[in-house]
Amino acid sequence: MELEDDLLLQTFAAESEENLAAIEQSLIALERDPRAEEALRAIFRSAHTIKGNAATLGFRAVAEFAHLFEDVLDRLRKHQLLFGTALATQLLGAVDVLRQSIPRAIAGHDGLSGPAPEVTAALQQHLLVEAEASAPPGRPAARDGEAAAAVPAQPGPELATRSLRVDVEKLDRMLRLAGEIAVARGRQRALLEASGPRDGEALEVHRETDRLLLDLQEQIMQARMVPIGPVFRRHERAVRDIALAHGKLAQLSVEGDEVEVDTAVVEHMRDPLTHMIRNALDHGLEPPEQRAAAGKPRAGRVTLRARRDAGSIVIEVADDGAGLDLGRIRQAAAERGIETSRLREGELEALIFHPGLSTAPEVTELSGRGVGMEVVRRNVELLRGTIAVDSVRGAGTTVSIRLPLTLAIIDGFSVGAGEETYVVPLDAVVECLELPREAGAGSGGCGLIEVRGAALPFLRLRELFGLPAAAPGRENVVVVSQDGRLAGIAVDALFGRSQTVVKPLGQMFRGVPGVAGSTILGSGRVALILDVPALLRQAAARHGGAAAEATA
């Protein structure tokens, strides 16, 4: 009995959150176009569902509040109320109340939380007034302060017709299993290759099993993929609220709704996306008057875009604001003692990712401390992704993030340095070369070698990591590509390609530079996955001179 109750409550929690999110989006759509009858009906349905379920579960305070909400909606439907910014804000406030009250009710405290008193009072006020205006249906209601440009709301994607709610736990277990399958396949293949083709039938069975396992592995990864559209759209409310708070007009545009990405990637991108949107609204978009004076529409546009590109997903956060102020960046950089005179425009723009650099004139709640973009970059790199920014003065800024489609399994290239094995993400690897004896002399953290006429800077992994072992006779260089530039990582041994499971290292090792996780090799040993961008940065800082020469 208890178990069923638990399940019931969990389902109520999940469904309520979905309904509240739907209400939020519909309210924003309605604010943009008060004639959108379907949006109003959708809100009604969701609110009604919440009320009914809450009543059934005995959450009286929540049910009563939902009832009040419905009453106000009813007035709206009968055109007895005008839908303006004020009402929209109050109804969104009601969503917040429910969002906070429902989990507490489930935990046993049947009451209201959040801005309940103010919102309740405001909503009740609306019920007292008989009819605020006799606006006939069809005429757009007057809005206070021009809440948003009258652009029709973008239709969301069609709801999936057949779907199943699955516990993320189960998917995580399946994911671990997929990883173990990958490792086991590798070991079996290695064993068979080593023992030679003795038994033709065994080989045949192996190949068949391997194919099936690979298929299973891929199906499991597929099951974890979710469309990114709903995640993007969840930011509509934030865009509206933040724009309002800053006295700006803005709306969110979404492109690539159907692009699917691993649910873990979605989780990790949630905060970075929020931060970038805040930046766009805080610093990127200009106030309406300024935009009008520049010949732009008064309402700014923040666009969230997703698309697939080979084995990666590309996410872009773009705004049509004023673009990055290079002069301010130069100034802020100078204040931190960073030499900018020889930097190209693209490199200047990239300084926004530098720790401690903020060009915001004052520190607002989240922007302005110079912490944000560096953290965003860190988060992206921990997912083995890359981030870049592009800006056109007067036209806007676009931040592009490229992430691997899946986090759980890595196609890697194993190398040895000291006595340990490390894994270089295969998509960063361009080629492998032998390190010419003259170039190395086996010591020093870095150096330069000539490859087909060009100078290739390389770093020595053993030295950078402070590994104790002595230099081997022959070293090899793994050439990697980062941001369009080539560099080499000199290692003691090359072990070849492998597909292995990524295991997070845990909180404890979060700040270790150059390491982006760990993986378990076929031998059972733990190997560390190299964080290529961070490694290159570390080497560049330590041996700045060589790198500068290399790129001169």
- Name the segment binding another protein (CB under 8 A); options: 35-43, 119-127, 258-266, 541-549: 541-549
- Binder to another protein among 6, 37, 144, 180 (CB under 8 A)? 180
Round to whole Å and give the CA distance between 513 and 535: 7
Closest approach, Cβ 453 to another protein, in A, equals 18
Cα within 13 Å of Cα(239), Cβ side: 31
- Binder to another protein among 18, 354, 375, 388 (CB under 8 A)? 354
Number of residues that bind another protein (CB under 8 A): 58
Residue 297 backbone dihedrals phi, psi, to 5 degrees: -60, 145
- Name the segment binding another protein (CB under 8 A); options: 148-156, 165-173, 232-240, 348-356: 348-356
User: Of 497-536, which residues contact another protein (CB under 8 A)?
Assistant: 501, 503-515, 518, 520, 524-528, 534, 536
**How far is CA 57 from each of CA 3, 6, 62, rounded to the nearest angstrom?**
15, 12, 10
Round to whole Å and give the CA distance between 300 and 441: 58
Residue 389 backbone dihedrals phi, psi, to 5 degrees: -125, 145
Structure tokens at 440: 């190395």
Q: Is 465 in the site for another protein (CB under 8 A)?
A: yes
Q: Is residue 527 classed as helix, strand or coil in its secondary structure?
A: strand
Round to whole Å and give the CA distance between 294 and 187: 64
**Nearer residue to another protein within complex by CB, 63 or 516:** 516
**Nearer residue to another protein within complex by CB, 208 or 347:** 347
Residue whose structure tokens are 């805080």: 282
Round to whole Å and give the CA distance between 154 and 148: 14
Strands 386-392 and 396-404: antiparallel
490: which strand partners?
A: 460, 477
**Nearer residue to another protein within complex by CB, 295 or 466:** 466
- Name the segment binding another protein (CB under 8 A); options: 2-10, 50-58, 227-235, 459-467: 459-467
- Binder to another protein among 138, 155, 295, 337 (CB under 8 A)? 337
Closest approach, Cβ 481 to another protein, in A, equals 15
- Binder to another protein among 336, 393, 437, 497 (CB under 8 A)? 336
Closest approach, Cβ 358 to another protein, in A, equals 11
List the one residue out of 347, 325, 343, 345 whose CA is nearest residue 396.
325
- Binder to another protein among 205, 485, 493, 497 (CB under 8 A)? 485
User: Per-residue x/- mask for another protein, residues 372 to 411, rule CB under 8 A?
Assistant: ----------------------------------------
Q: Is 466 in the site for another protein (CB under 8 A)?
A: yes
Structure tokens at 430: 């361009």
- Binder to another protein among 29, 105, 317, 350 (CB under 8 A)? 350
Q: 3-state secondary structure string, 425-482? A: EHHHEEEEEECCHHHHCCCCCEEEEEECCEEEEEEEHHHHCCCCCCCCCCCEEEEEEE
Closest approach, Cβ 412 to another protein, in A, equals 15
Inter-residue contact 386 to 491 (CB < 8 Å): no
Q: Is 420 in the site for another protein (CB under 8 A)?
A: yes
User: Of 94-153, which residues contact another protein (CB under 8 A)?
Assistant: none
End-to-end CA distance of the chain: 73
**Nearer residue to another protein within complex by CB, 98 or 487:** 487
Cα within 13 Å of Cα(357), Cβ side: 22
- Name the segment binding another protein (CB under 8 A); options: 18-26, 57-65, 195-203, 347-355: 347-355
- Binder to another protein among 176, 187, 246, 328 (CB under 8 A)? 176
Inter-residue contact 203 to 542 (CB < 8 Å): no
Q: Is 157 in the site for another protein (CB under 8 A)?
A: no
Structure tokens at 51: 């009320």
Rg value, the chain, Cα: 28
Binding-site ranges for another protein (CB under 8 A):
176, 180, 336-339, 342-343, 347-348, 350-351, 353-357, 420, 464-467, 485, 501, 503-515, 518, 520, 524-528, 534, 536-538, 540-542, 544-545, 547-548, 550-552
